[in-house]
Structure 1
Amino acid sequence: MNATLVECPAAQRREALLHLAAVHDAALQPGLQEALAEVKKTPTFNWQGLWIAQQAGRIAAAVWVQPLANRTAQLWLPKMLDSTGLALINVACQWAKQQRITLCHTLLAPQQFAWQAPLVAQGMRPMAELEHLRCSTGGKQPSTPLITLVPFSALTSAQQLTLVEAVSQDSLDCPALHQLLSIDELLAGFYTKAPQAPAHWYQVHYQEACEKGVEKQCVGVLLLAPYPTTPRCELLLMGLLPAWRGKGLGQAIIKHAFALAAQTGANELVLTVDASNVPAKRLYERCGFRCYAQQRLLAWHPEEWPE
């Protein structure tokens, strides 16, 4: 019997969400829980992106296009890669296109890599191989007094955008994705991932001797996001202006990040890095980070969606 694909009725939302692959995959569960926590904060959240396949009055599978900031979205896959799951992916693609979503991404855990080929056939483009790293925050203290951290909130909105754009220049982290996202969308995404932002966000200033004495310069940013329900803190962005890269400042900034994370009650600092960003990976490994999970990032972009 062929399944009927429909927008999920309000009374069946909870059941539909239980049919998503992330519910059954331990690696994806935290991300889905965070997404649902954000949804609960918005009573008027638009659920039109949740679709189900019905057979004999029962839900057989579900797909969710979760709207994010700046008309971006995240795709949460069906549990099974079968004809019903593929039909739901096609519906999700067409719905996102109709809604003029500017970018819709999904994350595949290793056990979901078989989804890549059918997603590419539906117009998705592989963006990056991601590695998730973690390290204990215990016993690590800043050792470079020449670095000071200034609240990111001291900057105007325009200054925030300018600084994030500057530190993102020639970034080796997900360059294909950065080409598709505007700086507004990139910064909005960081704000979405950090409910307390711009708390725990900083400008990095460096004190340098010069002919006139001592001069302080803004050389980068450090954006942190404590997890609300677990003793973890995420390093969203540690970026330096191009002129200040390769001078050994990265390791010093990360030591500050450990201390700040510990102050929030976190016993672990986590981050995500593009597997092809070898310099960043080497830096994190020197600081004690180790890989605990891998994912593939794929995305739809309007110019690439099939007709």
Structure 2
Amino acid sequence: MTHSPSSTPDVMLCPPDKRREALLQLAAAHDAEQQAALSTALKSMSTASDEEWQGLLVSYQEGQIKGAIWVQPLPENMAQLWLPLPGVEAEQIHALLRAAHAWVKTHNIRLCHLELPPQACVSEALLVEHGMLRLACLEHLTGNSHRRLAMNEAMPLSLQPFGELPEPEQLALLAAVGQDSLDSRPLRDVLSIKELLAGFYQQDPQAPQHWYAVGYQGGVVGVLLLAPRPALGRWELMLMGLIPGWRGQGLGRSLLNKALELAQQAGVQAVMLAVDNVNLPAKRLYQQAGFVRYAQQRLLAWKGDGEKGEAPK
């Protein structure tokens, strides 16, 4: 327990018998847009040990829980941060953020991130004050799987299951697709290709079932990662990219049509995706295909002290 003057909140690891009360002090527990994600996170912790729950921190004042913050452990020594309820006093928020940041550094977490919606209770400036890096501003788009982009000429693409590629080829392909990409450049500077791949696996329980290496004219030219989201009745386009030598030739239009076709064949009406706000060429392509924005979020993170690591197999 942190000993501090009586005017300052005490922050401590949440006792096991107080977890439910603490979790209800998180903003996501009272936000309809975040509740599903929080529920999924809690399901993943259903068999977690007390040690794995040590990132759940609470602030006490006069013997009562006044606020909570959660550093949720993720695979490959990553973590996600869940913020306190709106309306928590400023000194409580500062104390919780200091304690969470210290916990991340003590446990050498490679990257502890959060997506900050516009209505979040803690401002971006406050998080940056507590050492968070701005990684990206993401626009979340949704489109109809029945829509197709017009093509001047047919560009027949082939799809090879991504999982059939040897791991070195998977990593080399992702590295090539990421070269000079406008999406989340600061994130790519922080994480290795192995860690990025591990992050995609963590986001998609069915992976790599709907993941593909994209072929054209006898060679591999890109990658397409799709993820069913049954709870939302949609598919997510997690990653769609071409290696630099094949960009600007209309293959992106053909590849997006292929992604929409796969979703439609699976009986899914809507496809969603997130695109970096600075990636204007990709945004134009999605808009031409009828995608519209339904949310915007900023991606922030605490970065660990270590260098880029290799994710375990």
> TM-score with structure 1 length normalisation?
0.89
Aligned partners of 1:271, 1:24: CA distance in 2, in Å? 24
Aligned partners of 1:263, 1:38: CA distance in 2, in Å? 30
Match of 2:143 among 114, 130, 135: 135
In the other structure, the counterpart of 1:26 is 32
Match of 1:105 among 109, 113, 118: 113
Which shifted more, 127-136 or 42-51?
42-51
Does the Cα contact within 8 Å between 2:147 and 2:289 map onto a contact in 1? no
In the other structure, the counterpart of 2:226 is 224
Aligned partners of 2:160, 2:246: CA distance in 1, in Å? 17
In the other structure, the counterpart of 2:124 is 116
In structure 2, the CA distance between the partners of 1:33 and 1:247, relative to structure 1 (3 Å rule), is farther
In the other structure, the counterpart of 1:86 is 94
Aligned partners of 2:13, 2:274: CA distance in 1, in Å? 33
In structure 2, the CA distance between the partners of 1:107 and 1:139, relative to structure 1 (3 Å rule), is closer
Aligned partners of 1:35, 1:255: CA distance in 2, in Å? 32
Does the Cα contact within 8 Å between 1:142 and 1:255 map onto a contact in 2? no
How high is the sequence identity, in percent, across the aligned residues?
48
Which 5+ residue runs of structure 2 have no aligned equivalent? 1-6, 307-313
Which shifted more, 227-236 or 196-205?
227-236
Aligned partners of 1:153, 1:263: CA distance in 2, in Å? 21
Does the Cα contact within 8 Å between 2:55 and 2:100 map onto a contact in 1? yes
Match of 2:57 among 46, 51, 61: 51
In the alignment, structure 1 residue 126 sits paired with structure 2 residue 141:
no
Aligned partners of 2:97, 2:290: CA distance in 1, in Å? 39
- The Cα of 1:99 is off from its aligned counterpart by 0.3
In structure 2, the CA distance between the partners of 1:268 and 1:33, relative to structure 1 (3 Å rule), is farther
In the other structure, the counterpart of 1:202 is 212
In the other structure, the counterpart of 1:213 is none
In the other structure, the counterpart of 1:235 is 237
Amino acid of the structure 1 residue aligned with 2:133: R
Q: What CA deviation, in whole Å up to 9, does each residue of 1:37-96 have, x standing for no partner? A: 3333x5448111111123344322110111122211111111135211221111000000
Amino acid of the structure 1 residue aligned with 2:100: A
Which shifted more, 284-293 or 73-82?
73-82
Does the Cα contact within 8 Å between 1:69 and 1:185 map onto a contact in 2? no
| Secondary structure of the structure 2 residue equivalent to 1:173 | coil
> TM-score with structure 2 length normalisation?
0.88
Q: What CA deviation, in whole Å up to 9, does each residue of 1:140-195 have, x standing for no partner? A: 59985611111111111222111111111111001011101110110000000001
Which 5+ residue runs of structure 1 have no aligned equivalent? 209-215
- The Cα of 1:2 is off from its aligned counterpart by 4.8
Q: Within 5 Å, which residues of 2 pair with 1:117-196?
A: 117-138=125-146, 140=148, 144=154, 146-196=156-206
Does the Cα contact within 8 Å between 1:227 and 1:233 map onto a contact in 2? yes
Aligned partners of 2:45, 2:104: CA distance in 1, in Å? 18
- The Cα of 1:33 is off from its aligned counterpart by 2.9
Aligned residue pair count: 295
Amino acid of the structure 1 residue aligned with 2:192: S
- The Cα of 1:284 is off from its aligned counterpart by 0.7
| Secondary structure of the structure 1 residue equivalent to 2:248 | coil
- The Cα of 1:113 is off from its aligned counterpart by 7.4
